[in-house]
Chains A and B, each alone.
Chain A
């Protein structure tokens, strides 16, 4: 007697997981990402426990007697200009990086998906309008646009009494950068989703749904969306490192996070003392960023390979 479960077709995710497990490099990257996620959660705990208790978090406490110290047993990567431990700064930088990437994705994904779906599904004037919009947004150099939006948002957030509660808990620079990147970063996802919707709207299952009178919104989100949802995952994993790097660049330029130790801000601080031979601060922040971005890129590639049925078919045929 056959076990019923063995006959059940495997889901896309299960197949993808099997694919991933076969790739050693993807598994190593995943382990690195899990480690980073652990550091992130630890840093969040550290940050919020201090915030909610109304005390200064330990990583923000200065000790001017031990400024710019070289690496030692107590401070593995030395101390910064204010005598704060560089390792703790870099750990908090991980928090900032994850927060930025996740918050920005919360803006990018709904905008990119909704506009892409609308353009691809309805076509005609809606499509023309949305294509025009993303062409305009996409044609402006990203960093410039993000910088401009960040400046405006930051000024508005800091001056608005209504935002007092929000800024009590979140850095205004962080919010500004997220909004800046969020409102510029949706173009890629929008294009991708639009193309998929253009393809799917002519598929038989969609035509059938239309024929029996299913409402367009239901077709878009209940019928087609599950078939393109994996693109969100792929896009998310591949854009994650880009967001981290952009934030670091912005903070390095002084546009981003102002009051928290973002990796960009750490590198900005470190560059002032690099010529004195103080390499450790810069090296620490750069290495932290390098390994996270590398792991994300490699894992993102592997995930795309695993989740994209076309690629998998091609692999199978080749095999």
Chain B
């Protein structure tokens, strides 16, 4: 899932799943949180963390993560139970819960939400594969579900995809092309949430402003770029707070609400604020129950031992440090005539050296210190720590300016100069237009490249424009991040799988037959040491080709007011707001 770095609070809002706030002056049972750059309520377009969190307030899918359980485990949500899987691993059968209704909305003939059926899932899954929609989530099914790829290529939308079958009103079957163990995980993602066809037909292009789901909340009011307000969905039922968790969850007070019907909060208000100073003042003033920490506040809030400062500890504020299980990297467009791949091996080798020079030229440890206040650590493999397949092998292109200069000379740009004698000019896009952090980051990269004679132009774009350009696969270089969608290294490796190239998630258009072969092999394997070894091997192949310059893994620091309850860090926290509670204070 691509993520928006600059709007730290947005990331925090999503990372902590809107784990924010209640105002002391407010008497109702409301969570006030912050987000920014929210794009709308379309599950087909839920590829960023902020949208995923907002959409998960209203929509639901067949499965979700068990909130308190680690290691992560999927449990049924709209399904009665986990699926029955055929012996060959190719057919998954889900029995749906009966009596689950969409929320009441004008799109239904009587205004009353109708019951969810297996056909709705067939419709919703087919919808994200519709090429006209250009969903960023088609990858979850397209290469795996029987007939999906052919359906997309044929372009005949009236025909049904053979892999999605509504056996009866409450039975859904997903038929696969080959075993796909990750199916359980992808079905927890917002892309796989169920939407009613009536809403899409009724609202048309305005659908993303009018969510109609089965989730714990309904949208009450959305003022674009200002605030989004949700209230409890009166027709939501059937889910209670978990009664079991990890060993120390009871001591941490996380099981006090066991068995209580969800959601625990009556109302959620998400403010779209991208200015951290405002968020910080709201947090200190008790209006918000949680916040991330921007880099410039970090030293004041967190002491050199990376613990909370005394002043905040005295107020009862709690600090959570959560590994994001993400990777930040600089992706080179392999179709680009200057820096990409080539059919001529000599040219391809030169371009590879140019990419390697770029990667070696960036002082990542200093970048972590200056731009991220040591909250991040330099990345060394394609997979972040905590994901099977991660190794501690040192990164092949650690900062070495002399080596970078040598490589760039070998690439045909002595001292960074091109054939005309001018510095080689490269263009990178990044998100965060208008953000101070993004500008400082852009300056940092430009300066590092200038030291080897390269003129790096960084275009800072709005997040929506950035995603569009990234999706197009035309940008020369992209500063990108990926936060894991489910606990499986395949989620990262798919970003480099040849057939996923733009407009798929492999927007850098990397293609290596050996990498693709191994990817296809691991895809059908269950989690085992052999699979982890293959992931490590794939990481080595990709690093040698250098379609990405690896930057950092990040750690989120979140602060929570003492009255904010039931929060437990989670790598996939999007639907978790329904578990949160605000104590009277």
Give residues in A with beta carbon < 8 Å to B. 54, 56, 60, 62, 64, 67, 81-82, 155, 158, 164, 167-168, 172, 253-255, 258-259, 265, 268-269, 271-273, 275-276
Contact = CB atoms under 8 A, between A and B. Distances in A.
Given A271-B277, A272-B436, A64 B443 contact: no
Interface string B291-308: 000101101100000000
B436 A172 contact: no
Contacts of B442: 258-259
Nearest to B425: A164
A158 B461 CA distance: 12
Contacts of B422: 168
Contact of A254 (B280, B436, B450): B436
B439 A82 contact: no
Contacts of A81: 370, 440
Interface majority SS (helix, strand, loop, mixed), chain B? helix
A245 B246 CA distance: 58
Nearest to B435: A254
30 contacts: A54-B453, A56-B451, A67-B370, A81-B370, A81-B440, A82-B370, A82-B444, A158-B457, A158-B459, A167-B457, A168-B425, A172-B457, A253-B434, A254-B433, A254-B434, A254-B436, A254-B460, A255-B433, A255-B434, A258-B439, A258-B442, A259-B446, A259-B458, A271-B277, A272-B277, A272-B294, A273-B296, A275-B280, A275-B297, A275-B300
A82 B445 CA distance: 12
B439 A158 contact: no
B453 to A, nearest CB: 8
A24 to B, nearest CB: 42
Given A56-B450, A168-B422, A272 B439 contact: no
- By CB atoms of chain A within 10 A, which of B296, B299, B422 has the most? B296
B439 A64 contact: no
B296 A276 contact: yes
B524 interface: no
B512 interface: no
Contact of A82 (B297, B427, B443, B458): B443
A158 B230 CA distance: 41
A191 to B, nearest CB: 32
Interface in B263-305: 276-277, 280, 294, 296-297, 299-300
A265 B439 contact: yes
B460 A64 contact: no
A60 B447 contact: yes
A82 B296 CA distance: 13
A155 to B, nearest CB: 8
A155 B434 CA distance: 14
Contact of A64 (B276, B366, B453): B366
A60 B446 CA distance: 11
Interface string B455-481: 101111000000000000000000000
Interface of B: 276-277, 280, 294, 296-297, 299-300, 366, 369-370, 422-423, 425, 427, 433-436, 439-440, 442-444, 446-447, 450-451, 453, 455, 457-460
Given A158-B427, A158-B459, A268 B443 contact: no
A254 B427 CA distance: 19
Contacts of A172: 457
A259 B369 contact: no
Contacts of A158: 427, 457, 459
A269 B434 contact: no
B105 to A, nearest CB: 35
Contacts of A62: 370, 444, 447
Contacts of B440: 81-82, 269
Contacts of A164: 425
Nearest to B369: A64
B75 to A, nearest CB: 43
Nearest to A154: B459
A62 to B, nearest CB: 6
A64 B300 CA distance: 19
A60 B294 CA distance: 24
B300 A259 contact: no
Contacts of B460: 254, 258
A158 B436 CA distance: 20
Contact of A168 (B369, B436, B443, B455): B455
A266 to B, nearest CB: 11
A124 to B, nearest CB: 44
Given A259-B443, A275-B277, 12 more contacts: A54-B453, A62-B370, A81-B440, A254-B439, A258-B439, A258-B442, A259-B446, A272-B277, A272-B296, A273-B296, A275-B297, A276-B299
B179 to A, nearest CB: 44
B243 to A, nearest CB: 44
A56 B447 contact: yes
B370 A64 contact: yes
B300 A268 contact: no
Nearest to B280: A275
Nearest to B450: A56
B551 to A, nearest CB: 17
Contacts of B457: 158, 167, 172
Listed from nearest, the 9 A-B pairs whose CB atoms lie closest are A254-B434, A272-B296, A268-B436, A158-B459, A273-B296, A64-B370, A56-B450, A64-B366, A272-B436
Contacts of B450: 56
Nearest to A147: B434
Nearest to A254: B434
Contacts of A56: 447, 450-451
A54 B434 CA distance: 28
Contacts of B434: 253-255
A252 B13 CA distance: 25
Contacts of A255: 433-434
Contacts of B447: 56, 60, 62, 82
A62 B294 CA distance: 22
Nearest to A155: B459
Contacts of A268: 436, 439
